[in-house]
Amino acid sequence: MIEKREFYIGGAWVPPSVARDHAVINPTTEEPCAVISLGDKADTDAAVAAAKAAFPRWAATPPKERAGLVAGILVQYEKRLQEFAEAISMEMGAPIDFALAEQAPCLPWHTTNFLKAFEEIEWVRPLGDHAPGAAVAMEPIGVVGLITPWNWPVNQIALKAIPAMLAGCTCVLKPSEEAPLNAMLFAEFCHDAGIPAGVFNLVNGDGAGVGSQLTTHPDVEAISFTGSTRAGIAISKAAADSLKRVMLELGGKGANLVFADADDKAIERSVRRMMENSGQSCNAPSRMLVERSIYEDAVEKAAAVANSIKVGPAGNPGDHIGPVVNKSQWEKIQGYIHKGIEEGGRLVAGGPGLPEEFNRGFYVKPTIFADVKPGMTIEKEEIFGPVMAMIPFDSEEEALTIANDTVYGLTNYVQTTDAERANRLSLKLKAGMIEMNGKSRGAGSFFGGVKQSGRAREGGVWGIEEFLESKAISGYDFSIAAE
């Protein structure tokens, strides 16, 4: 049993103000794997005060020096990669090989891309030759609150804490209480890399406690949140009283448009992408729209792929999916599966209940519904589990209408070998990100959506500039600055 009963505040590990134990449950065994403390208002206040005290000096630190210190986090990561991946695997159920290959490496991937993008930041920018002496200066916004989820835990920490620190902000992180161990290791990386005291702080807690306290704290200038749309709306309302900047990365219900001319691997690629991380990805392609001429063949292929995907313990090596994060998530997914059956979806793979070989662990069968109609619950609502809906379409226009008929707008997918169609759809689909023919976003691109998926832009130059303020200046002498 791991015990983590301290918070990282002001460059040191300190005990909580009030003893409030919280058991972290291993979703593979349904047993506690760690005990942490949940913070109280005094802990949040202490962390914000430490960040506020550290801000002036950190903001004045030359950008190259900040970048060098942040780069040092990667040295610590490499030393403790195995431990880091094992913590993620244990606390949120990612199979260990997946944690090593995909989950943990999010930290070096994003950090490296941010460091490259950071080199392009112009801190004082001329407005143009038409306005001599007019400039726009970029400055760090101040103390920022970071609230991260459990499904891709270090991915979201890297997308928030790294650019915030590079920008010159100081931060207080509240990771998910479902998966806090990786965040505490990240705090150790920051400490051992020499990040100055107070620049990065961590207080464990729940949304109603530390999360709400950060959102309403008068000394916190911005909140960056990843989680449900419901929680994102509540945070926006709570932050409005203090006029904080709010960056939200929320849910999704991605449409995946598969045309008759798609390549031979399109169906298998799409199903495996959906089931990755046990379907617990906000950008999962959970609605597969298939051109009618290949629809029945696609259903057959998709079912075969889903049935071939193994489910197993997170600690076991191999290519399988693990459990979902907790009992409440498992029950929610089961409810959606039953709803899909009740509303007339044709179950072609998976279904309700635990896989036959398990009597414990929060395992969900990779599940596919065919003949799903627009408007069905499983077509409209984010399930956040390994459940995919298949829908036939007759024309590009119909596919586009179905794809865009959602409150969400995070990631949509297109499978076609017609380049003109791919380009056309990439501009007409209403989402923050469009991925075509299995190609992932480029290094240095951003992650973010539109509509009820939030409008954060996490990654690359955009991700750094979310933590910067702009200041208009007249009469700036660039010749002096150049010297």
Give me the DSSP letters along 259-278. Answer: -TT--TTHHHHHHHHHHGGG
Neighbouring C-beta atoms of residue 85, cutoff 10 Å:
23
Q: Which amino acid is at 120?
A: E
Nearest to 93 by CA among 314, 384, 280, 354: 314
Q: Are 188 and 6 in contact (CB under 8 A)?
A: no
CA angle centred on 378, ends 295 and 452, rounded to 5°: 110
Label residue 397 exposed, middle or buried (CB < 10 Å: 0-12, 13-18, 19+): exposed
Give me the DSSP letters along 175-223. Answer: --TTS-HHHHHHHHHHHHTTPPTTTEEE----IIIIIHHHHH-TT--EE
Q: Measured between alpha carbons, how far is 436 from 420 in angstroms, rounded to an integer?
A: 12
Neighbouring C-beta atoms of residue 479, cutoff 10 Å:
6
Give me the DSSP letters along 56-103. Answer: HHHHHS-HHHHHHHHHHHHHHHHHTHHHHHHHHHHHH---HHHIIIII
Beta strand pairing call for 346-349 and 367-370 = antiparallel
Q: Are 97 and 317 in contact (CB under 8 A)?
A: yes
Q: Measured between alpha carbons, how far is 93 from 78 in angstroms, rounded to an integer?
A: 22
Phi, psi angle pair for 473, to nearest 5° = -125, 140
Q: Which amino acid is at 161?
A: A
Which residues have a catalytic role annotated?
Answer: 249, 282
Instruction: Tally the C-alpha atoms within 13 A of residue 170's C-alpha that lie toward its C-beta.
Output: 27
Cα torsion 470, 473, 477, 480: sign = negative
* Residue reference for tokens 């530390």: 210
Nearest to 390 by CA among 365, 375, 410, 370: 370
Q: Measured between alpha carbons, how far is 452 from 417 in angstroms, rounded to an integer?
A: 31
Contacts of 435 (CB under 8 A, 6+ apart): 411, 412, 413, 414, 441
CA angle centred on 369, ends 365 and 374, rounded to 5°: 140
DSSP state of 436: E
Look at residue 112 and give its three-state secondary structure: helix
Which tokens sit at 292?
């009618």
Look at residue 191 and give its three-state secondary structure: helix
